[in-house]
Structure 1
Amino acid sequence: MHQDTAGTGSRWRRWSDDGPRRDLVDAVVILALGALLLAVGLVDVTPDDLRPLGAPPAGGHLVLLAVGCVLVALKRRAPLVALAAGTALVVLDLAWGGSLALLLVGWDLLFAATLWVSPRARTVLWTLAGTVCVVGAVLAAEATRDLRVLVYAAIQLGALLLVPMWWADNVRQKTALADAERERAEAAARTAALERRRAADAARLAAADRHEAVQAERAAMARDLHDVIAGHLSTIAIHAGGALAARPDPVRDRGALEQVRVSAVESLTEMRAMIELLRADAPAEPVTAPGRLAGLHRLVAQAAGAGADVALDVDPGALDPPSSAAVEQAVHRIAQEALTNAAKHAPGQPVAVRLDAPDGGLVLRVRNPLAPGPVPPADPLLRAGTGLVTMAERAEALGGSFRAGPRDGTWHVRAALPRPAAADARTVPGGEDVRPARPAEDHA
């Protein structure tokens, strides 16, 4: 039932929309209404002395109505031709006494012509219609010598000729305004869509730049870990080769095997961290040695050599026992990035760097007062915009946390990282192998 109703509504919209089908509907309606007017006798609208052709033949008015309705159905193809033919039919009908049925045809054709023709043709139509109204009223007044007839004739002719034309002009203007408003709305929608697309493209480009920078940094970290693992494997190979080349000695061989085990466990620890950081499609870059905690003094010295006022305070417990290479490298790189940011955004301000080892972990704090006045913007080519993101990812990749931001006029950077042991085995005096508890158990 719903589908039938929808289909009926769709068919009605096709017939009621403005177009050739609508013209055919208008013709049928005018034919039916005109036939009804003729049937009730609404004819002979002109006086007897103004009928040059006398009485019409039987069915003459109906034939003229049928021809006029054909013109109404075809008016869209040639409005001026249809109006000229319709005017001839109305004049002929008036010569037979006239009828309201043909006046309906004339109104519709005059309305359509005024609505669809060019501005120049519309001006000509208005001129002709106004002339007919004035001349007709004057002739009627002259014939009757009555001023009231002049007014009546002018009103009647204006109603017959000027009202449909005025209506058509009004519809034309409203249609033009509606079209202009629709075009303006469509243009605004297209502009908004373009702006949204441009903003989305800019966001994607920015995200791609950030992603590329972060991935490049991760790849560099992974290559640094590769150096550490290569060093451990080289140690394993050297001790194993020395033990195989020398004569059997239980004490020496046990010590070599212990060292091999220590290096192997450290390699596995570093390999686990490297797997999380590797990036297959990273561009080739020079391999550099990873930074360690012992290098913090060198970072501070480099910053001081560049003119910064940097104070370093390291808890002795943070260096003994040593941490894994991944953790020490992360602390080293976070401190390096924090010092770089302080030099860029708060030049000349003192910087305090502190490394603590609470509860078996490592906590790095970097603080510097905010610049009191406006700071000259850094060179855009030297700003990657990923410093804080990279520091956070370094800490979080190893199970730690990272915070950075202003507080009480001071910029605070805090990175907390867990501290797994550098090896899972230790050698105690007497050559006994002692296996410590796992880091998670030590930290509990």
Structure 2
Amino acid sequence: MARGLRPHRHDVYIAVGGLLGGLALLGIGLHTRARHAPASVLDQDWAVAVPLLVTAGCELLRRTRPGPALLVGTAAVVADLPTRGSLATVVMFTDLVYAAVLYGPPAFARRLPWITGLFTVIGTVVPLVVWRTPQAFLLGVGVALVSLVPAATGWVVRNHRDTAVAERLRAEQTALLADMDRAQAVVAERARVARELHDMIANHMSAIAIHSTAALSLDDPETSRQALTVIRENSVEGLAEMRRLIGILRDSGDERAPAAAPTLDGLEALAETARGNGLEVMLDARHGEVPTPVELAAYRIVQESLTNALKHAAPGRVTVALARRDGALEVAVTSPYGHRGGPRAPGSGAGLVGMRERAALLGGAFAAGPEGAVWTVRATLPLGDGEGDPA
């Protein structure tokens, strides 16, 4: 709603057009009422021109000051009644009523149609009661055409305009929410890929780093040969894991594309690989059937825990235990904690972050840290109904 003092360009056109039209009607002697008998000063052209001029001036304010413009315009129409009258004055007054509803404050716009309706009823009933002639009904019709009809029209147009504005804002909000959802989906997907890449490749890279360091540090052909064998095995397995991850990311639509979907049935193979890398692993898996998201999260947590044990654990036994308890799958991995004499691979801490994220996405709990002489990783993964994707 415009609130400046400068009239809108279209309002100037309306005011000028109404004034010129009224002056033209006045010039050809076309009026809405006959002369008084006997002749009166109100029959003069200037008496008709003054309300016309005032109403035209009010049209300049129809958009910027609709309330005051309607008030002054009403006074001008009342002043026009004793004169011979001008059709242009009445037409411009109806436009002032319409503009007051369309551009006025909401409360004023809601009340004005009721006020004009009340005046229409009064203008119909009172003449019928006083004059007791059917022609008196025409006065009510005239009041309705001048006040109620433009007010009702303005209310309908305003409702359509407000509805269009609300729909446009709703569409903009929907588009903004869609953009936010897309951005969050991209971030979540990047985090998922980062976790998968770390969990799938870090174990093999750590084994390669440790055994290559041993091969370079020890001047023993047999030890170097064993280390190179382990390095080759982990290189081949890491390459296969990478190919499976690329198969997930490639949107080829090929049903033969490889997919990485490890299950808890593969824990024994995972433990065997860790044993081949030099760890002493004891596996105790009593989990039964669990939802797929929980299964994947548990597998990745065990995999990362074994990787960390390979990089940081002191010599000794590493235990892996999985058990269902109180509607959740509990995962516990312990490894000797203390000084490690052999070569070790550097760690970035991303593994602990990834394990914590996987547990949090399922609404579970995660903790990792030293407990006496052992390093313990514990995760509680609610079984629920299997909803959510920890990957």
TM interval, shorter chain, is 0.5 to 0.7
Residue 82 and residue 133 in structure 1: after superposition, are their counterparts in 2 closer, same or farther (change >3 A)?
Answer: same
Relative to the length of structure 1, the TM-score reads: 0.48
Pairwise CA distance, 1:140? 4.1
Secondary structure of residue in 2 paired with 1:181 = helix
Secondary structure of residue in 1 paired with 2:227 = coil
Q: Residue 327 of structure 1 corresponds to which residue in structure 2?
A: 232
Q: Residue 343 of structure 2 corresponds to which residue in structure 1?
A: none
Query: Which range moved further: 167-176 or 61-70?
Result: 61-70
Q: Is it true that 1:26 corresponds to 2:11 in the alignment?
A: yes
Residues 203-214 of structure 1: pairs in structure 2 closer than 5 A? 203-213=189-199, 214=201
Q: Distance in 1 between matches of 2:77 and 2:23?
A: 15
1:169 maps to a residue whose letter is W
Q: Distance in 1 between matches of 2:262 and 2:148?
A: 83
Q: Residue 104 of structure 1 corresponds to which residue in structure 2?
A: 91
Pairwise CA distance, 1:163? 0.8
Residues 212-231 of structure 1: pairs in structure 2 closer than 5 A? 212-213=198-199, 214-215=201-202, 217-231=204-218
Residue 158 and residue 60 in structure 1: after superposition, are their counterparts in 2 closer, same or farther (change >3 A)?
Answer: same
Task: Give 1:87's match in structure 2, choosing from 57, 74, 86.
Answer: 74
Determine if contact 2:31/2:85 at 8 Å carries over to the other structure: yes
Q: Residue 42 of structure 2 corresponds to which residue in structure 1?
A: 55
Task: Give 1:201's match in structure 2, choosing from 174, 180, 187.
Answer: 187
Q: Is it true that 1:174 corresponds to 2:94 in the alignment?
A: no
Residue 206 and residue 110 in structure 1: after superposition, are their counterparts in 2 closer, same or farther (change >3 A)?
Answer: same
Pairwise CA distance, 1:97? 1.5
Pairwise CA distance, 1:22? 7.2
Determine if contact 1:44/1:98 at 8 Å carries over to the other structure: yes
Secondary structure of residue in 1 paired with 2:116 = helix
Pairwise CA distance, 1:212? 3.3
Determine if contact 2:66/2:103 at 8 Å carries over to the other structure: yes
Determine if contact 1:34/1:104 at 8 Å carries over to the other structure: no
Paired residues, what number? Answer: 261
Q: Distance in 2 between matches of 1:51 and 1:80?
A: 38
Determine if contact 2:23/2:49 at 8 Å carries over to the other structure: yes
Pairwise CA distance, 1:69? 2.6
Residue 74 and residue 50 in structure 1: after superposition, are their counterparts in 2 closer, same or farther (change >3 A)?
Answer: farther
Task: Give 2:24's match in structure 1, choosing from 39, 43, 58.
Answer: 39
Q: Distance in 2 between matches of 1:333 and 1:123?
A: 73
Q: Distance in 2 between matches of 1:379 and 1:219?
A: 21
Pairwise CA distance, 1:201? 1.3
Q: Is it true that 1:73 corresponds to 2:60 in the alignment?
A: yes
Pairwise CA distance, 1:328? 4.8
Q: Distance in 2 between matches of 1:225 and 1:375?
A: 38
Q: Distance in 2 between matches of 1:51 and 1:95?
A: 14
Q: Distance in 2 between matches of 1:166 and 1:72?
A: 19
Determine if contact 1:114/1:122 at 8 Å carries over to the other structure: yes
- Give the gaps of 5 or more residues in structure 1: 1-16, 236-262, 271-288, 293-324, 336-340, 350-372, 391-444
Query: Which range moved further: 116-125 or 197-206?
Result: 116-125
| Partner deviation per Cα, 1:140-193 (whole Å, 9 max, x = no partner) | 44565421x133222222111111001011011112221222232222222222
Identity %: 25
- Give the gaps of 5 or more residues in structure 2: 241-260, 270-287, 308-391
| Partner deviation per Cα, 1:205-234 (whole Å, 9 max, x = no partner) | 112223334356425413322322333xx3
Q: Is it true that 1:125 corresponds to 2:112 in the alignment?
A: yes
Secondary structure of residue in 2 paired with 1:383 = helix
Relative to the length of structure 2, the TM-score reads: 0.54
Q: Distance in 1 between matches of 2:73 and 2:95?
A: 10
Determine if contact 1:345/1:375 at 8 Å carries over to the other structure: no
Residue 27 and residue 144 in structure 1: after superposition, are their counterparts in 2 closer, same or farther (change >3 A)?
Answer: farther
Q: Distance in 1 between matches of 2:12 and 2:290?
A: 80
Over the residues paired in the alignment, what is the CA RMSD in angstroms?
Answer: 4.3
Q: Residue 297 of structure 2 corresponds to which residue in structure 1?
A: 380
Larger Cα-atom Rg: 1
1:345 maps to a residue whose letter is D
Q: Distance in 2 between matches of 1:52 and 1:78?
A: 38
2:163 maps to a residue whose letter is L
Task: Give 1:152's match in structure 2, choosing from 112, 115, 138.
Answer: 138
